[in-house]
Amino acid sequence: MPESSSDRPRKGGSDKSAGKAVAVRKAALAKTVTATPVPAAAVATRATSGRLTVRKTYKLYIGGAFPRSESGRTYLVDGDNVALASRKDARDAVIAARKAQPKWAGATAYNRGQVLYRVAEMLEARRAEFVALGVPAAEVDAAVDRWVWYAGWSDKIAQVHGGANPVAGPFFNISAPEPTGVVGVVAPASFLGLVSVIAPAIVTGNTVVVLTATPQAAVTLAEVLATSDVPGGVVNILTGNAAETAPWLASHDDVNALDLTGVTDPALAADLERSAAGSLKRVVRPPADGTDFTADPGLGPMTALLEIKTVWHPKGF
Amino acid sequence: MFEYAPAPESRSVVDIAPSYGLFIDGEFVPPASSGGAFKTVNPATEEVLAEVSTAGPEDIDRAVAAARRASGPWSALPGAERAKYLFRIARIIQERSRELAVLESLDNGKPIRESRDVDLPLVAAHFFYYAGWADKLRYAGFGDNPRPLGVAAQVIPWNFPLLMLAWKIAPALATGNTVVLKPAETTPLSALFFADVCRQADLPPGVVNIVTGAGDAGRTLVEHPGVDKVAFTGSTEVGRQIARSVAGTRKRLTLELGGKAANIVFDDAPIDQAVEGIVNGIFFNQGHVCCAGSRLLVQESIAEELLESLKRRMATLRVGDPLDKNTDVGAINSAEQLERIRTLSDIGAEEGAERWSPPCTLPSQGFWFAPTIFTGVTQAHRIAREEIFGPVLSVLTFRTPDEAIEKANNTPYGLSAGIWSDKGSQILAVADKLRAGVVWANTFNKFDPTSPFGGYKESGYGREGGRHGLEAYLA
């Protein structure tokens, strides 16, 4: 079982609800909005409204749908029964990601930019919900801004990272970046980290299977994505234990790249990288000394998951 | 048909020493006790050309230590000064290109026409191109202050020995790295000649170190804890082993591996040009080319006409003495490679494909294989799936562009592809859908230092050449 279930005591339902309510109220104050409740207000407690709250079931996000784990397993995180993804879920997610990839990559860069900007809009609208889940408000804001930043890259990266090559002969010669394909991602624990690994992968036309250890925020992000015109299968999110599921992605022959940014155990990272060598996946290693996700990410997170295609054609009459 | 009189290039233009040491810290030194020696032969005659040292673990240690010592001062040099060393090297290569071309053909077996007109000009151009980058790195798009990685371990193949050396060493040095390079076991001589070029250029000792040997030496080098960067060109299988060996380290890795390129000919292609492109695609350098167009995909409606024309053209290929200026197809690089080509070709015939070679007389000494095509090949045949790395073409047909794309991409490799068509929109649409790092449309096997080269999928990762080629050597 993952750490989070063993080293965190299970909270009582009312305690949890009260905690969330406090957070929601703080958020509401900060925005001086009280009349229009954000969706997170659904967690309002028995104490304030006199009615029983409707809790959310945290499930996986595969192919645009929210299935339970096919294994039927759940684990407990902060009082929620969260789906514990299995090998089969990982493989289903790869199938969904592969199926979605050509069409997503084939969409115009302008269109992908619009979709990512729509993600920013939806995230902004659900800001309080993330704050209620314990994500610091500043981090949610930074995550919204990161979606906007990457949205703008969709139709610029090819110009910055490709171009005409002045070959010594009568040839037209041009290099352009293309998505590498399906990317397996072990996401970092922070919400901004999660957004900072998904956005650069998908903006260029990759599709992703994301393993996350912060399930509530990740599944809530999935709800944002599901309402943002992101085609089903472009982002697939598996909650659970990365040490259990990541090896299946690392050895999966239909995965083109592996982003290990969120792996904190060096031995696991080395094992996954070794396993990824079987089909020569591109591997993004965990940063040597952590990543400051608030800093300018630069081009690296995008270019690490891009191929360069160079096309030649003769010139002549 | 014309008869050709022999037109041999003189082999006496280049001096080959009877034996060579290892080039470490600016000097040729004998191998330490853990090392040894082996012979390199002319594959066209099986004559021994020289005895070459085998680097043992102690030698690799010494070479890496020398590169490490040189790394600080070399990376601290102003880029403009590093550039001038590289410009010098480029010039010396141009000045001595006749010697180098002959040496390359002797050790590798490739026709002198190719080493003289393709390999050597590209080698010099590569050094010239990257020389110019050395003092312009902050404009390359990799940050304001791009830094070298340190010591690069570079292992190169035998098919383009000096060109692969240039692809590795030029960008590494321009970016301020120092290198330990291991040439292939069967083609060490041009790299050892290059060591002398470095000395002639007064390159500081230790900036370039050349260690010779077989796979063991290469493995010791890439697994050495003192290297920061590994660059390998060679087989996908060895590439996988290297990728495993660097797992869990901070070593950066680039791999240029195998290929099984589709060369797609549409029904509107100019047939004569396409035939020239097919021949160049698979028989250039005896087919010892990772990006060779080894799978011909021809649209069914023109298959018969095209194959007839191809066979007629193949009958004019001159196979023989690599030093003869009229030779089109030289010697297979080694007995081992010849055996692999024979084995896979026999499997092709056994699996039911139809084999054809033009009538041609092969020399009695040396390693030779006649240009060969297989027709009636299906995607399940091993000769359509595995890299043969020889002058053997597998011919498949297709009816629609979608079928061509599907077949072209139906391979774990993704290094290169060819498209022959007179319809611009079709070329661009197909090029978009091919999963390959280099797409040649109405041409094939063209290379240039400004043009990034490298593969998708199991053909490796990273690019060599162009601005993109700098990235592999910068932090």
DSSP annotation string for B207-251: SEEE---SHHHHHHHHT-TT-SEEEEES-HHHHHHHHHHHTTS--
From the CA of A157, how many Å to the nearest CA of chain B? Answer: 12
Alpha-carbon gap, residue A298 to B132, rounded angstroms = 25
DSSP 3-state of A217:
helix
Main-chain dihedrals φ then ψ at residue B429, nearest 5 degrees: -65, -40
- Choose the closest CB to B456 out of A269, A303, A307: A307
DSSP 3-state of B9:
coil
From the CA of B434, how many Å to the nearest CA of chain A? Answer: 9
pLDDT of chain B, 475 residues: tens digit per residue:
678 899 999 999 999 999 999 999 999 999 998 889 999 999 999 999 999 999 999 999 999 999 999 999 999 999 999 999 999 999 999 999 999 999 999 999 999 999 999 999 999 999 999 999 999 999 999 999 999 999 999 999 999 999 999 999 999 999 999 999 999 999 999 999 999 999 999 999 999 999 999 999 999 999 999 999 999 999 999 999 999 999 999 999 999 999 999 999 999 999 999 999 999 999 999 999 999 999 999 999 999 999 999 999 999 999 999 999 999 999 999 999 999 999 999 999 999 999 999 999 999 999 999 999 999 999 999 999 999 999 999 999 999 999 999 999 999 999 999 999 999 999 999 999 999 999 999 999 999 999 999 999 999 999 999 999 999 999 9
B176 in A contact zone (CB under 8 Å): no
Contact call for B437 and A307, based on CB within 8 A? yes
Whether the predicted pLDDT of A107 surpasses 80: yes
B370 in A contact zone (CB under 8 Å): no
Q: How large is the C-alpha radius of gyration of chain B?
A: 22
Could you tell me the fold of the domain covering B262-448?
A: Aldehyde Dehydrogenase; Chain A, domain 2 (3.40.309)
Count other Cβ atoms within 10 Å, centred on residue B456: 25
Where do you find CATH 3.40.309.10 in chain B? 262-448
Whether CATH 3.40.605.10 fits B11-257+459-471: yes
Can you name the residues that pair with B145 across neighbouring β-strands?
Answer: none
């330990």: which residue's tokens?
B180
Q: Which region among A41-50, A253-262, B363-372, B388-397 has the lowest average model confidence (pLDDT)?
A: A41-50
Cβ neighbourhood burial of B84 (10 Å; 0-12, 13-18, 19+) = middle
Residues of A in contact with B244 (CB under 8 A): 274, 277
pLDDT at B35: 80
Q: Give catalytic status of residue B360 as yes or no.
A: no
CATH architecture of A57-314: 3-Layer(aba) Sandwich (3.40)
Residue B323 Cα distances to A226, B10, B211, B332, B358, angstroms: 66, 8, 27, 14, 22
Domain ranges of chain A: 1-51, 57-314
Which DSSP category does B74 fall into? H
Alpha-carbon gap, residue A44 to A54, rounded angstroms = 9
Residues 245-284 of A with CB under 8 A from B: 256, 266-267, 269-271, 273-274, 276-280, 282
Where do you find CATH 3.40.605.10 in chain B? 11-257+459-471
Q: Which two tokens stand for residue B153?
A: 């371990």
Residues of A in contact with B257 (CB under 8 A): 280
Residues of B in contact with A266 (CB under 8 A): 248
Half-sphere exposure of A221 (CA within 13 A, CB side): 30
For chain A, the residue count is: 317
B463 in A contact zone (CB under 8 Å): yes
Q: Give catalytic status of residue B291 as yes or no.
A: no
For chain B, the residue count is: 475
The region that residue A187 occupies, defined by phi over 0 for left and psi between -120 and 50 for alpha, beta otherwise, is beta
B129 in A contact zone (CB under 8 Å): no
Residues of B in contact with A276 (CB under 8 A): 243, 247
Count other Cβ atoms within 10 Å, centred on residue B399: 11
Helix, strand, coil: what percent of chain A each, to 5? 45, 15, 35
pLDDT digits (tens, 9 = 90+) for A155-196: 999 999 999 999 999 999 999 999 999 999 999 999 999 999
Catalytic residue among B256, B458, B464, B471: B256
Cβ neighbourhood burial of B245 (10 Å; 0-12, 13-18, 19+) = middle
Q: Say if pTM beats, i.e. exceeds, 0.90.
A: yes
A174 in B contact zone (CB under 8 Å): no
Q: Which two tokens stand for residue A48?
A: 């304030």
Which one of A167, A183, A315 makes the best mutation probe of the B interface by having the most chain B beta carbons within 10 Å?
Answer: A167
